[in-house]
Amino acid sequence: MKNLLICIIALWTGEVLSQNKQVLYGLEEVPQNLLLNPGSKVPQKYHFGIPFLSQIHVSGGASGVSVYDIFGESNVDINTRIRNKIFEMDDKDFFTINQQLNIIDFGWLANNDIYFSGGMYQELDFISYFPKDLAILAWEGNQNYLGYPFDLGEISMTGEVLTVFHFGANKKLSDNLTVGVRGKVYSSLIQFQSINNTGTFTTRESTNGVNIYEHELQNIDVSMQTSGYASLRDADGSSEVISEILGRTFFGGNLGLGIDVGATYDIGRYWTVSGSVLDFGAVFHTNGVENYEAKGDYTVNGIELIFPPLEDGEPTFPYFSNLEDDFENEVGVDTLQTSYTQLRPLKVNGAVEYRFGQPLSGDACDCYNMGGGLETGQSIGLQVFSVFRPKGSQLAGTLFYNRRLWDFLTAKATYTVDPYSNSNVGLGMVADLGKFNVYVAADNLLRYGNIAKAKSVSLQLGLNIKIYEQ
């Protein structure tokens, strides 16, 4: 138990923000920007991501606590600090990890002026809400909480590892409007979820006077769906596990379908709005499914001894086994193999941008683009991001400043307010070095001096080959 707790706390260190890539969004110089908005403007004619290097993204965070809160040097006892945090946080607080690795990524402008792009990436996504009542029960026990219904419905978590195969099309429909769409096939390697749980556990003074207390489980409906776990558990040795996982990586897992859509619209010469909806889709878990479910009500008062008259050597009633059987019958865990459908966490991006400064084309007249937006060296704007999670959507708002420093180098600075913090400053840089396109973006830079104080961190970096001319 203690080791588990230490592991969880240690994980927070590596954790970073949710799935928001606010620095990368709208950064047209980065080809993988198309994965955030398939309807983004595309300046290049071709791009080819260096395999495994075109986008590495890690992010994670904890909305209510930082590593420093727990492990910071302090005169207060560490257990007191943890206890204080448990009581300070609530069941809407969450821990999340999201990681993406682009394996293949490519795109080209076809003769019909459609920019096609496609590829494959691997993603890991995990979120767990903070089950506050269970944490209190584990930390303090029930002695000081007689009559208090501990809410088991606070258990809410999902986690998955999957590969995504995607192909999209992007077209500039007019001087003002660019739209795009991307289809996705998900191949799930492993997935689990425990959501929509209900039930309470209460210890109170006995109401029927049978014993001192009664322990009551009421309205219990707690379940965990897993897919891809049972067969790995039963696999014989690590080589079998590895071959099983590799098989699932390439369409061998439970499959799903999804779609991304996006658009960018120039309003006059200096204003642009854009938006995208990502991962509108679901994975259908039919193979290797194992679900666990406990339902019902149960009250226990202890063990009643009835002192039956017995002959020598004759055993008495198996009171404890009977109690266990009774419990199993009423609220025991059933294992089921029912297929289930899992919605992917839907993401929505939106942005409005105002450009100013010197036009990049040298003067105000871009004769090939009379009606569209004017490209300038600087812009500011506002972005919003939302991801739909089991307990509702998580929102983030970002102010950004984008500047073309030199022809080959663009920088973007962001200030983001999200559930983790209101002091999140991010910075991204993209450099086009010949045909090589290199970028790195990170947020929570103010915390890099002492990352332990950060409640979230997000980092993306990548390397592409990009060609502007035919």
Partner 1 sequence: MKTNLSVPVLLVLASVFLSSCIKDTDFDEAEAIALTPVVELDLIYFNLTANDFFDSTTSNPRLTVRDTTELPFLDDGFAQEDLRKADFLFKFTNGIPRRFDVDFQFLDQENIETYSTQTNVDQGTPQNSQLTDFIKIVEGDDLIELTKASKVVVSVTIASSDENLEGELNLKSKTTYYLEL
DSSP for 193-216 reads EE-S-EEEEEEEE-SSSSSSEEEE
Are residues 146 and 204 in contact, defined by beta-carbon separation less than 8 angstroms? yes
Q: Which is nearer to partner 1, 367 or 433 (CB)?
A: 433
Please, what is the minimum distance in Å from the beta carbon of residue 5 to partner 1? 6
Please, what is the minimum distance in Å from the beta carbon of residue 377 to partner 1? 16
What is the rounded CA–CA span in Å between residue 119 and residue 55?
12
Contact residues toward partner 1 (CB under 8 A) are 1-2, 5-6, 9-10, 13, 67-68, 71-73, 77-79, 82, 137-144, 146, 203, 206, 210-215, 300-309, 316, 318-321, 405-409, 427, 429, 431, 433, 438, 440, 442, 445, 448-452, 459
Please, what is the minimum distance in Å from the beta carbon of residue 431 to partner 1? 5
Neighbours of 319 (CB within 10 A): 13
Question: Measured over all CA atoms, what is the biggest interatomic distance in the chain, rounded to whole angstroms?
Answer: 109
Q: Which is nearer to partner 1, 214 or 279 (CB)?
A: 214
Q: Which is nearer to partner 1, 79 or 111 (CB)?
A: 79
Q: Which is nearer to partner 1, 137 or 179 (CB)?
A: 137
Q: How far is CA 105 from CA 52, 100, 428, 436, 463, in A?
A: 9, 13, 20, 14, 11
Please, what is the minimum distance in Å from the beta carbon of residue 433 to partner 1? 6
Please, what is the minimum distance in Å from the beta carbon of residue 210 to partner 1? 6
Q: Which is nearer to partner 1, 88 or 113 (CB)?
A: 88
Please, what is the minimum distance in Å from the beta carbon of residue 402 to partner 1? 16
Structure tokens that stand for 147 in this block: 């009559």
Burial class for 415, CB neighbours closer than 10 Å (0-12, 13-18, 19+): middle
Are residues 162 and 187 in contact, defined by beta-carbon separation less than 8 angstroms? yes
Q: For helices 78-88 and 132-140, what crossing angle results, to 10°?
A: 150
What is the rounded CA–CA span in Å between residue 380 and residue 401?
4
What is the rounded CA–CA span in Å between residue 426 and residue 424?
6
Neighbours of 318 (CB within 10 A): 10
Q: Which residues of 102-141 are buried (b: 16+ CB within 10 A; e: fewer)?
A: bbebbbebeeeeebebbbbbbbbbbbbbbbbbbbbbeeee
Q: Which is nearer to partner 1, 417 or 427 (CB)?
A: 427
Please, what is the minimum distance in Å from the beta carbon of residue 172 to partner 1? 28
Q: Which is nearer to partner 1, 111 or 321 (CB)?
A: 321
Q: Which is nearer to partner 1, 309 or 392 (CB)?
A: 309
Please, what is the minimum distance in Å from the beta carbon of residue 230 to partner 1? 26
Neighbours of 344 (CB within 10 A): 22
